[in-house]
Amino acid sequence: MDSRTVFGRLGLSKRCPGVYAGEWIDRPDADTMPVVSPIDGNVLADVTLASEADYEAVARTAHETFTNWRMVPAPVRGRLVRDLADAFRAVKAELGALVTMEMGKIRAEGEGEVQEVIDMADFAVGLSRQLYGLSMHSERPSHRMYEQWHPLGVVGIVTAFNFPAAVWGWNALLAAVCGDSMIWKPASKTPLTAIACTRIAAKVCAAHGHPALMNLLIGPGRTVGERLINDRRVPLVSFTGSTPQGRRIASSVAARLGRTILELGGNNAIIVMDDADLDLAVRAILFGAVGTAGQRCTSTRRIIMHRRIAKVLVRRLLDAYAQIRIGDPLDPKTVMGPMVDREAVGEYVTAIRTIREQGGEILCGGRVLGGRTRASGCFVAPTLVRAKKNLPIMREETFAPILYLVEAGSLDEAIRIQNSVDQGLSSAIFTRGVEAAETFLSPRGSDCGIANVNIGTSGAEIGGAFGGEKDTGGGREAGSDAWKVYMRRQTTTINHGRDLPLAQGIRFGS
């Protein structure tokens, strides 16, 4: 599929407005930004950027829409989301290809990401009839007590380049059934996917009479991002990105007593025990470490291998790494495409230098891949690093296909190493033994938000709550009861008697 077809099917042009507030805002004097494909370095389109005045227009419109949308019954809100699911189904291949062209993940993963939006929409439709509150027994006679969940307000959704559609879907589709309107500020590295998703959403929302439900704001974090974070009309900010940025956003939003959902850095490890099925483990490690060119929050960054199988596992990983097909991510045979841009490649290069300085042994990879077909300069070799001891750099999340291999002599030691980093997103163990598996899942096991057995660290389904502990920020998105953060809880007590008994048996006055 070429970019012409994709642009045509998704309604994109060479100049795309980057602001949507119930209608597309395109001022002729707006600043523009080129979107460069990491595949070949070609400019895909120019995108116009929001000014601070545009922010105000978006925020005002989103808030107005909220005041109407909150009064629509939740199951009726679900119908809009059901139509959204169908609209995304209809362009799954094209939107998946756009993700590939814009940020470089392979076609299968690009389409998988769109599927994640569709799955999330299906989940949200069901949820629209299940926004349950509890009812309690009142201690007072002729009293009824229960809780209900009301829409919250305008939700700010700030997303990263690596999942340019799915993470918006996690938030937007829950927010929509919960009765919230929203403002999406996508990463400036992936504005086209955001524009395409918003175009799809806008059409459906308009058909349901709420054109400004899902708004878009592409612009610099310094100006429009800051406005969003500090805006009291936005009671919830959902942020996906780095830990330092998340820390800053959290403190700004907390200062005005707003809520945040933070999905920040990961530093995910797989423990491979001596009784593991190594076929499974190698396949999971490959997908986790090399998938999306190591640029998922859930990417596998560390392998903690039991000393008894270390030698054979390393040999098998070296064999597997030698066969990874790196190249054009639009080619179905490719397993790893480019990194998102040259800046990301720069970080990879710096990390490789640091690894060498700290005494890590590069077993394979460790270099930028040149050549005529790789003119964009964004292709790198996936890298295996043997670390005799914990290198300081292993504490950091380097967003690149670099995998550290360390040994452990026991399960306890492996868990200690696994938990020794600041981040706490995803984790996994490969073992056939119930004792090791259950210990890993027990309170003294993995300290992460996600803990898997005989499954890698990445590729979670939407049905579970997604997120992590410690420096990962503590937020939860997508499935389970993640919806509750998008609503406000109201506890209600109704007196249907003729008396006014007080709680705690207090007698007041006569």
Is residue 162 at the binding interface for ligand UN1, with CB under 6 A as the rule?
yes
Name the residue with tokens 């597309």. Answer: 24
- The single-letter DSSP state of residue 504 is G
Residue 22 and residue 113 in contact, taking contact as beta carbons nearer than 8 Å? no
CB of 90 to ligand UN1, least distance (A): 22
- Would you count residue 460 as binding ligand UN1 (CB under 6 A)? yes
Which residue lies nearer to ligand UN1 by CB, 297 or 451?
297
How many other β-carbons are positioned within 10 Å of the β-carbon of residue 149? Answer: 18
Q: Are strands 450-453 and 426-430 parallel, antiparallel or unpaired?
A: parallel
Q: For residue 7, state whether it binds ligand UN1 (rule: CB under 6 A).
A: no
Q: Which two tokens stand for residue 192?
A: 């086209």
Q: Is 459 in the site for ligand UN1 (CB under 6 A)?
A: yes
Which positions from 75 to 114 touch ligand UN1 by CB under 6 A, shown as an x/- string? ----------------------------------------
Which residues belong to the active site?
263, 297
DSSP string, 295-336: -STT-EEEEEEEHHHHHHHHHHHHHHHHT--BS-TTSTT-SB
End-to-end CA distance of the chain: 81
Distance CA 503, CA 488 (A): 24
- 51 or 162, CB closer to ligand UN1? 162
Q: Quick one: 18 or 112, whose CB is closer to ligand UN1?
A: 112
* Of 37, 171, 240, 446, the one binding ligand UN1 by CB under 6 A: 240
Minimum distance, C-beta of residue 164 to ligand UN1, in the bound complex (Å):
10
Which range of residues in 12-20, 126-134, 147-155, 160-168 is near ligand UN1 by CB under 6 A?
160-168
Do 183 and 228 contact (CB within 8 A), yes or no?
A: yes
- φ, ψ (nearest 5 deg) of residue 320: -65, -45
Nearest approach in angstroms of CB 379 to ligand UN1 is 21
**Three-state SS at 386:** strand
Count residues contacting ligand UN1 (CB under 6 A)? 11
Q: Which two tokens stand for residue 435?
A: 């004792």
Q: Least Å distance between CB 507 and ligand UN1?
A: 57
Instruction: Decide whether 48 or 423 has the Cβ nearer to ligand UN1.
Output: 423
Q: Which one, 296 or 306, has the nearer CB to ligand UN1? A: 296
Using rule CB under 6 A, residue 163 touches ligand UN1? yes
Half-sphere exposure of 463 (CA within 13 A, CB side): 2
**Which range, of 84-92, 129-137, 159-167, 273-281, touches ligand UN1 by CB under 6 A?**
159-167
Tokens in use for 78? Answer: 């679900």
Closest by Cα among 22, 8, 130 to 69? 22
| β pairing state of 268-272 and 426-430 | parallel
292, 105 contact by CB (below 8 A): yes
Binding mask 292-331 for ligand UN1 (x = CB under 6 A): ----xxx---------------------------------
Q: How far is the CB of 163 from ligand UN1 (least distance, A)?
A: 5
Give the residues lining the site for ligand UN1 (CB under 6 A). Answer: 116, 162-163, 167, 240, 296-298, 458-460
